[in-house]
Structure formats: structure tokens, C-alpha cells
């Protein structure tokens, strides 16, 4: 413990003798937590007993499965920028958190998970519901720690919150043995303000800023790709200022979506496997690629040895381990994106790059004619996922928080949903966790009660966490749930069609009556299958003040295009 | 890029679980650890991992970056063999009768610059410190006579260049 050397500067609080379990509640309150998601069980019961006593200050939402608790905490964290908290018991309770933790790790979501653990004297004895959650969660946590005595609780909890939210955020797991919950000790709390072995935000270097500014000022065809680092760093205004001042076309990664108004004239769309045609093709034609708060995921880059080889690369990034990990940069600008963009702005010359911007417009026209128009204004009989998104945009005036699951509908949502406010696109990007959306929408709604939250989910992913309807019903959360039902695991089916000679192995779904299921939870529910009813159905849903379920039966064998086939270059993007 | 031997030196806090966290970084990338040594370092309260791998320089750089990213790691460096002074230690347990019956054994002890740590009626123990090839050569020489037990330590290494770790810690503490 001495070696942790957490620096605690903000001191106060008189000490009092309380149980470890009560101390955990006080720690949460000290960190400003008023909402947690979880599921009780034997090894965490002392904490739940305290939650009962503190329910006026701290709301606990009972998920219907621990995975749901983590995704709800993630949804909450993603819309608010605050740390989400999930709690579970030992053994299966703890292992059920793992998918959500892994999701939060790869998508840099601040989350603290608290798990109960068997008594210290039973550790290693294969006791009832004992599992080595520290060992299991190590590769997917930013940090984790097992507390075995009550006196450790304040310092470790303070450190957990500090680490989860600082620098590049991520999930932290704190495992607390039952004896530590029951022991009494003198409690006092000090917020953590630093850990000596941890440097959360590298100081920006002036040479790097100058070198980047010079490259930007001399570029003829500069291109910005922005990721979630802009949202996490709250650098939306700075990004917009840079884009407008230098006249640089900018595209988003799936997690960067909503950092910039989707209707901004210099916002040219999405990069990556199912991104827009222009941004992908022109990645290999720009002379300067400016990556801001993104990590060159393989779904963004396609084949690396043919990715932006002609361009100089500037990488604005908070995490030094991301520099030169996948793409070599000519200039790496380390630091918080808000800070580094602020520093570079005064050094940037005004520019327009009109003919370069026109190239994006020309490519968009090709994509519109060959792909987009058929999605948004279809003439075929079956409903398209794209037109559903279009109607949601219209009904919400681009103001909704869109929570998407994983698969075809996710790609349609990210391609066609419109946003004019940041922190509004909540999806599982890195891990691709089916079942993410329904519980994440619960957290998103509770983090933004004044906003519309629309969950867009496929019929496959919906059934992975469908039990969380219970939470929506119990708390009457006005989440709007849209299931785009194509009776298939659509994305896998698409790959089977394109790359496995239409051998549809285990991708055809025989589904239950989703409307009846929603009604079983006393949630208002409708089904729509015909185009002439779609607009009214969506308007009715959006107008509702209550939870609402809408099943849209869409074309069964529709595909998402454009598409960069796995292992292909961004230049080899297919329009059909 | 060619694979070669790299010594990864990690300065860290001395906490339970960190070894697991670091070894997981190698596991995730399917990289085999050739040798591992953990000890205290030149700084009070700071541990040092010395990890030997055979990898490309690029992969090693990325691994060191991922290690350094761990909260309780202060700094991770990597070096090629010619940038470090490195040694290993080995112990050989051998039947005592051989000392008297096999004249050659005494020559091996002398020529290998090894030390006799202990002698008992049944066995004696030789300690040898040196580079891997020297230890291997000695092992090969003794093997025909019968080695009762053999163990070799992980590599320990110091670098020729300075590791400005104290200055870094100071900087962290001031932030």
C-alpha cells in the first residue's frame, strides 16, 4: 500500500468509525456518484444493505443481468462524460461483467466496477462463488485491485475514480473481500490527484505543434480524420475552428461521430469498412492526413501497407502507445486534444481548398446515386434500414441520442443518423458487442433525461440482452426502442453471401413475437411492415412520453454498402 | 525486419498483480519470454523487471509502449545486446565422488571461472556467472559426468547509456 503513493492533496473530512461497506457508499458519494447499476449477491450483501440505507442519496438500478449493468454504466458515461459505476457479487456476478469491461477498455469509457469477493481467509480455497476476477479482468482493465482490509477502501476507491476518468479513460475494477466490507475502521476520504508512476496527459511539445502547423499550412490536399478523442477531450469547438479556418474536409470514425455536426459543409462523412466512398478513396489521395484522437483501427484503415502511403501523417493523440502503433506518423502531437488544438489554431493560415473539397462532393454524388438514394428513397417493396433512420432524423430534428447495437443496423445508423450535438452516438465500436444497445440506452437515458434516446437494434442483438426491458418497465424510462428485424444475423449473412457462396450457416433466425414480449413488460409496442405506415409509426413513437417499442420489418437480404472487404485497401472500396 | 534478442527493462511499483499484467502483454501478442528476472532497482521502493525476448525491433518498441502504459509501470526501456552489460547465473549440483574420481572435473572448475558454493559428502554445488553461451558451454562439459540438478537464472543487465529514471520520477511527483 505504501508503494501506491497516490498523491492526495485535497484533504478534509473528520474521521468516523464505520464499516467497510458503508465506507464504499461514502466513497461513491464523495466522487459525485448518484446512480449505479448492479445486481446483488452473497459476497456484496453488506454493501447492498448500506445502499438500502442511503437510497435517498444514491440510486441503485437493478439490471436483469450483470452485463446489462456494465453497458448501462457505459451508456451513462458516454452521454455524460462522467464515470459510470457497476456493481456485482463475486463469482458469476463478477464474470458477467467482463464483456462490458472489455468493451469499455477498447472504447476508452470511464467506468468503475465494484465486485464482492469471498472472505480473505477463503481466498484460493475454491470457496462458493469464488473466482479470480482480478486475474480474469487484468487484460481488459486500465487498472484493478483487490481490497482485503477495510482500511484500504478510501485510498483505492479514490484512485479507481481518478484512474478511470483521467488521461485516456478506461474501466477500473475494485474487488472487495467480504471481511473488508464488514470490518469497522476510522474513515476519512481524500480525493486522488495523481499517481507517481502514471502520467495521464503528456505535455504538448511546442516543436511538435510548430511542425504540425507547418505541414498543415503547406498542404494542398489535407484531410482530417477525427475520433472519440475529440469527444473525450471536449475539443468539439476547437476541431470545428480548425476545420473552418484551414478549410480542411473532415471525416469521422465510428466513435468520433457526433463530435461535429453531421450537416456541417466540411464534414464529409465516415471513414472505414462501411464508411463513405469519398473519405475512403481520398485517404489514398490526400497529401496530409491529420488524425485527431483516433487509433487507426483495422476497420478504419483496411490493409495497412496501402493506407495513406502517399501522405504525410500528423497524429494528435493522448496515449503515447498509440503513436506509430498501426500507422507511422511524421509528426506526433501528444496531449489532450482540446489543449493541442487550441495551441495550433493561432499558427494555422486561413485557407479554402475548394477544388480539393469538390473532389469529396463528386465522390459523394457517385455514392448517392449508387447507394444512398436507394437506401433513403427506396422504390423496392421491402423497407430499408436507411429510410427508418431518415424518418427518425426528421422526427427528432437530428437532436436524439442514437444508441446502436452491432451489425448491419449499426452501420446504417452510423451512416445515416444525423447529429447536431456531441456525445450523442453511443455504440460498441472496438469490441463490437451484440446486446450492447438496450442496456446502454437505459444508461444514456438516465444520463440525459431531457433528451430523446433512441435505441436502434437488430433482431439478433436484441435477444442477447432483451431482459433489460424489465428495467425500462420498472422505472418507466421513456427509451424508444427500434428493432430493425430482418429475421437474420444480417452482417454475418452479408459476409456469407459475398464471401462464402451464400452458405447461410446459422444466420437465419426464427423470432418470437417481439411486440407481445414488449407488451408483456407493459411497454407500448407497434409493428410496421409497410412504407406508407412508417413515417406515422415513427412520429407516434417519438411523440410518446413513455417507453415505446417499435418493430420494423425490413428487407431480409439487404446489404450494407459501400464496403471495404476484409484485407483490402481503402482504395478498393466496393459500391455494390 | 529481422528478429533479434532484446532486453526489456521495466521500472515499476512493487505491487501484487503487476507481473500478471505485464506477462499478459506478451501473451496477447504471442511472444515467448526467454527469461525474466524481477528485483529491486537502484531507486528505493522501485522494482525492476528484466525481460529477454527475441523479436523485431518494431514489435519490441510496441510491447515496451504497452508495458509503460500500465498504471504502476514508471518506465519501460528496450535494448539490444551490444547496448547492455548482461550476465546470467547458474547452479550445478554434482555428485561429490566425481571430484575425486574424475580429474577433468577439477580442470573444468578452474577453466570456467566457476565457484564451489558448498561441498557435502554426497554432492557439491558449482556456481557460474557469465553470458548464456559460457553457462551453456560449462553445462555441455559437465553433462557427460552427470548433473544431479541444474538451474539458470534470468538475464540481469545494466545499460551502457544512462536511464534517467530518477529525474522522471521527480518530474511526475512535481506534476
Spell out the residues 6+ positions from residue A562 whose beta carbon is closer than 8 angstroms to its own: A274, A275, A276, A277, A280, A367, A371, A573, A574, A575
H/E stretch holding A231 reads: helix A228-232
Residue with cell 500528423: A314
- Asked if A207 is an active-site residue, the reply is no
Chosen for mutation from A137, A318, A321 (greatest number of chain B CBs closer than 10 Å) is A321
For residue B87, say if its preceding peptide bond is cis, omega within 30 degrees of 0.
Answer: no
What pLDDT score does B100 carry? 87
- The Cα-based distances of A24 to A53, A228, B157 in angstroms read 13, 31, 44
Which alpha helices (H) appear in B79-164, and where do they start and end?
Answer: 97-101, 103-111, 132-142
Q: Is A418 exposed, middle or buried (0-12, 13-18, 19+ CB in 10 A)?
A: buried
pTM: 0.95
**Nearest by Cα to A176 from A159, A152, A160:** A152
Alpha carbon distance A552, A393 (integer Å): 16
- Contacts made by residues B114-122, CB under 8 angstroms, sequence distance 24+: B114/B138, B117/B91, B120/B96, B121/B96, B122/B95, B122/B96
- Asked if A178 is an active-site residue, the reply is yes
What pLDDT score does B114 carry? 95
Q: Report the residue of chain B nearest A203, measured CA to CA.
A: B175
The verdict on a CB contact (< 8 Å) between A321 and B68 is yes
- Asked if A491 is an active-site residue, the reply is yes
CB-CB contact of A469 with A517 (8 Å): yes
**Nearest by Cα to A267 from A294, A234, A236:** A236
What pLDDT score does A351 carry? 98
Alpha carbon distance A157, A6 (integer Å): 11
Residues of chain A contacting residue B172, judged by C-beta atoms under 8 Å apart? 194, 196-199
CB-CB contact of A567 with A505 (8 Å): no
CB-CB contact of A467 with A64 (8 Å): yes
A143 interfacial to chain B (CB closer than 8 Å): yes
Q: Does the pLDDT value for residue B165 go beyond 90?
A: no
Residue with cell 451508456: A75
pLDDT > 70 fraction of chain B, expressed in percent and rounded = 98
Alpha carbon distance A175, A116 (integer Å): 6
Catalytic option among A87, A434, A491, A542: A491
Confidence of residue B174 (pLDDT cuts 50, 70, 90): low
- Asked if A66 is an active-site residue, the reply is yes
- Give me the mean pLDDT over the A162-171 stretch: 98
**Nearest by Cα to A30 from A112, A89, A93:** A112
- Give me the mean pLDDT over the A235-246 stretch: 98
Calculate the CA A222 to chain-centre distance: 28
Which alpha helices (H) appear in A149-205, and where do they start and end?
Answer: 153-165, 178-182
Alpha carbon distance B136, B142 (integer Å): 10
Helix, strand, coil share of chain A (percent; to 5): 40, 20, 40
Q: B41 to chain A, minimum CA–CA distance in Å?
A: 14
Q: What is the DSSP letter of B51?
A: E
Domains of chain B: 4-84+156-162 (3.30.70.260), 87-152 (3.30.70.1150)
- Which range among A57-71, A101-115, A121-135, B37-51 shows the weakest confidence by mean pLDDT? B37-51
B120 interfacial to chain A (CB closer than 8 Å): no
Residues of chain A contacting residue B27, judged by C-beta atoms under 8 Å apart? 139
The verdict on a CB contact (< 8 Å) between B15 and A197 is no
Q: Does the pLDDT value for residue A431 go beyond 70?
A: yes
Q: Is B30 exposed, middle or buried (0-12, 13-18, 19+ CB in 10 A)?
A: exposed
- The Cα-based distances of A315 to A296, A319, A542, A570 in angstroms read 10, 11, 40, 19
- Give me the mean pLDDT over the A77-92 stretch: 98
CB-CB contact of A253 with A294 (8 Å): yes
Condensed to tens digits (0 to 9), the pLDDT of residues A436-478 reads 999 999 999 999 999 999 999 999 999 999 999 999 999 999 9
Residues of chain B contacting residue A4, judged by C-beta atoms under 8 Å apart? 13, 15
3-class DSSP assignment, residue B12: strand
- The Cα-based distances of A208 to A204, A317, B15, B62 in angstroms read 8, 12, 35, 21
Residue with cell 528505493: B44
Domains of chain A: 2-195 (3.40.50.970), 206-360 (3.40.50.1220), 381-553 (3.40.50.970)
**Nearest by Cα to A58 from A86, A35, A40, A82:** A35
Residue A312 has phi, psi (to 5 degrees) of: -75, 150
Residue A55 has phi, psi (to 5 degrees) of: -65, -15
CB-CB contact of A252 with A236 (8 Å): no
Q: Does the pLDDT value for residue A226 go beyond 70?
A: yes
Alpha carbon distance A160, A32 (integer Å): 13
**How high is the mean pLDDT of chain A?**
96
Calculate the CA A279 to chain-centre distance: 22
Catalytic option among A82, A142, A159, A178: A178
A134 interfacial to chain B (CB closer than 8 Å): yes
Cell numbers for A337? 486534444
Condensed to tens digits (0 to 9), the pLDDT of residues B105-154 reads 999 999 999 999 999 999 999 999 999 999 999 999 999 999 999 999 99
Cell numbers for A157? 476507491
Which alpha helices (H) appear in B112-164, and where do they start and end?
Answer: 132-142
- Give me the mean pLDDT over the B43-47 stretch: 90
Amino acid at each position: 500500500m505504501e508503494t501506491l503513493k497516490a498523491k492526495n492533496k485535497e484533504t478534509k473530512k473528520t474521521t468516523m468509525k464505520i464499516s467497510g461497506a458503508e465506507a464504499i457508499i461514502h466513497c461513491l458519494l464523495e466522487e459525485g456518484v448518484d446512480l449505479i447499476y448492479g445486481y446483488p449477491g452473497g459476497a456484496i450483501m453488506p454493501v447492498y444493505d448500506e445502499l438500502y440505507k442511503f437510497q435517498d442519496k444514491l440510486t441503485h438500478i437493478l439490471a436483469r443481468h450483470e452485463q446489462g449493468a456494465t453497458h448501462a454504466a457505459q451508456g451513462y458515461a458516454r452521454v455524460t462524460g462522467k464515470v459510470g459505476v457497476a456493481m456485482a457479487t463475486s463469482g458469476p456476478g463478477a464474470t458477467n461483467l467482463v464483456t462490458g469491461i472489455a468493451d469499455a477498455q477498447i472504447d476508452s469509457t470511464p467506468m468503475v466496477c465494484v465486485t464482492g469477493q469471498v472472505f480473505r481467509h477463503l481466498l484460493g480455497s475454491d470457496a462458493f462463488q469464488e473466482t479470480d476476477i482480478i486475474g480474469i479482468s487484468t487484460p481488459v482493465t486500465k487498472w484493478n485491485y483487490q481490497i482485503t482490509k477495510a482500511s484500504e477502501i478510501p485510498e483505492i476507491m479514490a484512485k479507481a475514480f481518478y484512474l478511470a476518468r483521467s488521461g485516456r479513460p478506461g474501466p477500473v475494477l475494485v474487488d472487495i473481500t467480504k471481511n473488508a466490507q464488514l470490518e469497522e475502521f476510522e474513515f476519512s476520504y481524500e480525493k486522488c490527484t495523481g499517481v507517481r508512476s502514471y502520467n495521464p496527459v503528456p505535455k504538448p511539445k511546442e516543436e511538435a505543434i510548430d511542425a504540425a502547423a507547418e505541414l498543415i499550412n503547406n498542404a494542398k490536399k489535407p484531410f482530417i480524420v477525427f475520433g472519440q478523442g475529440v469527444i473525450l477531450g471536449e475539443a468539439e469547438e476547437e476541431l470545428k475552428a480548425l476545420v473552418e479556418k484551414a478549410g480542411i474536409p473532415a471525416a469521422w470514425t465510428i466513435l468520433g461521430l457526433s463530435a461535429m455536426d453531421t450537416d456541417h459543409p466540411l464534414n464529409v462523412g465516415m471513414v472505414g469498412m462501411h464508411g463513405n466512398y469519398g473519405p475512403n478513396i481520398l485517404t489514398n489521395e490526400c497529401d496530409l492526413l491529420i488524425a485527431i484522437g483516433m487509433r487507426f483501427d483495422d476497420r478504419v484503415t483496411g490493409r495497412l501497407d496501402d493506407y495513406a502511403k502517399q501522405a504525410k501523417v500528423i497524429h494528435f493523440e493522448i496515449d503515447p502507445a498509440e503513436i506509430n502503433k498501426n500507422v507511422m506518423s511524421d509528426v506526433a502531437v501528444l496531449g489532450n486534444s482540446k489543449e493541442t488544438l487550441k495551441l495550433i489554431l493561432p499558427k494555422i493560415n486561413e485557407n479554402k481548398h475548394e477544388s480539393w473539397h469538390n473532389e469529396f462532393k463528386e465522390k459523394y454524388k457517385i455514392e448517392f446515386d449508387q447507394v444512398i438514394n436507394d437506401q433513403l428513397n427506396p422504390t423496392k417493396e421491402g423497407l430499408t434500414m436507411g429510410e427508418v433512420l431518415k424518418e427518425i432524423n426528421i422526427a427528432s430534428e437530428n437532436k436524439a441520442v442514437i444508441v446502436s447495437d452491432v451489425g448491419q443496423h449499426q452501420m446504417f445508423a452510423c451512416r445515416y443518423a444525423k447529429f447536431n450535438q456531441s456525445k450523442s452516438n453511443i455504440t460498441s465500436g472496438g469490441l463490437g458487442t451484440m446486446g450492447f444497445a438496450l442496456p446502454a440506452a437505459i444508461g444514456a437515458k438516465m444520463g440525459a433525461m431531457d433528451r430523446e434516446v433512441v435505441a436502434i437494434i437488430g433482431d439478433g442483438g436484441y435477444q442477447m440482452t432483451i431482459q433489460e426491458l424489465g428495467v425500462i418497465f420498472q422505472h418507466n424510462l421513456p427509451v424508444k426502442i427500434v428493432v430493425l428485424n430482418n429475421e437474420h444475423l444480417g452482417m454475418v449473412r452479408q459476409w456469407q453471401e459475398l464471401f462464402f457462396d451464400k452458405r447461410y450457416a446459422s444466420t437465419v433466425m426464427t423470432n418470437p413475437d417481439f411486440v407481445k414480449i414488449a407488451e408483456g413488460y407493459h411497454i407500448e409496442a407497434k409493428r410496421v411492415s409497410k412504407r406508407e405506415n412508417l413515417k406515422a409509426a415513427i412520429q407516434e413513437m417519438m411523440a410518446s412520453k413513455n417507453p415505446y417499442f417499435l418493430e420494423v420489418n425490413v428487407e431480409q437480404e439487404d446489404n450494407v454498402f459501400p464496403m471495404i472487404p476484409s484485407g483490402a485497401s481503402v482504395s478498393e472500396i466496393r459500391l455494390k | 525486419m529481422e528478429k533479434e534478442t532484446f532486453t526489456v527493462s521495466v521500472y515499476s511499483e512493487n505491487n501484487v498483480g503487476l507481473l500478471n499484467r505485464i506477462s499478459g502483454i506478451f501473451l496477447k501478442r504471442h511472444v515467448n519470454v526467454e527469461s525474466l528476472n524481477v528485483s529491486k532497482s537502484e531507486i528505493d521502493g522501485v522494482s525492476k523487471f528484466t525481460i529477454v525476448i527475441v523479436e523485431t525491433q518494431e514489435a519490441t518498441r510496441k510491447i515496451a509502449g504497452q508495458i509503460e502504459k500500465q498504471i504502476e509501470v514508471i518506465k519501460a526501456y528496450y535494448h539490444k545486446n551490444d547496448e547492455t552489460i548482461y550476465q546470467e547465473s547458474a547452479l550445478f549440483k554434482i555428485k561429490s565422488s566425481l571430484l575425486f574420481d574424475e580429474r577433468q572435473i577439477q580442470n573444468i572448475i578452474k577453466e570456467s571461472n566457476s565457484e564451489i558454493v558448498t561441498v557435502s559428502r554426497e554432492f557439491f554445488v558449482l556456481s557460474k556467472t557469465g553470458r548464456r553461451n559460457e553457462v551453456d558451454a560449462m553445462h555441455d562439459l559437465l553433462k557427460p559426468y552427470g548433473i544431479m540438478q541444474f538451474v539458470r537464472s534470468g538475464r540481469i543487465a545494466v545499460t551502457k547509456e544512462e536511464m534517467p529514471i530518477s529525474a522522471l520520477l521527480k518530474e511526475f511527483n512535481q506534476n
